[in-house]
Each structure stands twice: as structure tokens, then as C-alpha cells.
Amino acid sequence: MGDLIRFRDDETHEEPAVTLDAFLGQSNATAVRLEPTDDPRALIPHLSRLSLIEVSFPKFRDGRGYSIGSILREAGYAGELRAAGDVLVDQIGPMRRCGFDAFLSDAEIDRDVLDKLLSLHAHVYQKTVDGRAPVWARRHG
């Protein structure tokens, strides 16, 4: 497993993440782990007391987590949003655009490659939860 890569300034949250069912069943947990089939909107009433939501990417081809991340940020979640599992270096940029700010990949991520990839795309076409101005906003700023 690779190192945790974070794009946040706060302390890493140490409490182990519980499943969505466990969280909804108990719970004073402050960290949840979502699988691709989980409905992130079930967490919406509880977002303010969550510090970590970990989204599982069992296979890099499974793109459901991108929608999960976007939905959580659209709902106002401000804590750590971590992509965990089969996360490839080329996917971190798009995941950042869907609100993920921490990455725990099964493989070692080459930071030099990642930094270069993240610096490449100066402009984006879509408005997403990352807050970057899409080119249509720049064109008509």
C-alpha cells in the first residue's frame, strides 16, 4: 500500500472508518467508509459531525466513487474525503475535481509524476465542486 497523500492542512483523522450500515445503526462515529453501491445521500443529515469519509475504489475502472464524491461536496461536506483502493496516479486529478482531497492508493504513487499531472491542466470546461472557474466563466468573467 502507498502512503496517504493529503491536500489538506488539518490533522489526519485517526479514528477507524465504519461502514455506512454501522454508522447509520449506532452511531457517534466520525469516520465512515462508503462502498460504490452505497447511497451517499444517506449521510446528508450527519455531514457536520463527520471528519472523514473514505470512498472505496475496488477497481480503477469503477467510476461510481466520482459521483459519490461530487454528491457529498454538493451537499456541503467539508471534512476529509478520501479515495482509497485501486487509485491510479492519472486518476487523482479528476478525483480532485470531484471533491477528493486525500488518497490512499493500493500502489505507491510517484509524487513527481503526480505533481506534473496536476500542473498540466490549467483550464477546465466544467463547473464542479472543486470551485475552479470553468472556461465559460473566464471567457465572460
Q: Which of 30, 93, 106, 109 binds other proteins (CB under 8 A)?
A: 93
Per-residue mark of binding to other proteins, 35-64 (x: CB under 8 A):
-------------------------xxxxx
Residue 30: CB minimum distance to other proteins, A: 25
Q: Which of 23, 29, 70, 103 binds other proteins (CB under 8 A)?
A: 70
Closest CA to 34 of 77, 90, 94: 77
Contact 47, 76 (CB under 8 A): yes
In terms of CB distance, is 26 or 119 closer to other proteins? 119
- Strand ranges of the sheet holding 102-105, from the earlier edge strand across to the other edge: 4-6, 102-105, 80-85, 52-57, 31-34, 18-19
Residue 51: CB minimum distance to other proteins, A: 24
In terms of CB distance, is 48 or 123 closer to other proteins? 123
Coil vs helix vs strand at 50:
coil
Residue 111 identity (one-letter amino acid)? R
In terms of CB distance, is 84 or 95 closer to other proteins? 95
- Tell me the pairing of strands 52-57 and 31-34: parallel
CA end-to-end span of the chain: 43
Site for other proteins in 95-134 (CB under 8 A): 95, 97-98, 110, 113, 116-117, 120-128, 134
Contact 38, 20 (CB under 8 A): yes
Residues that bind other proteins (CB under 8 A): 60-64, 66-67, 70, 74, 88, 90-91, 93-95, 97-98, 110, 113, 116-117, 120-128, 134-136, 138-140
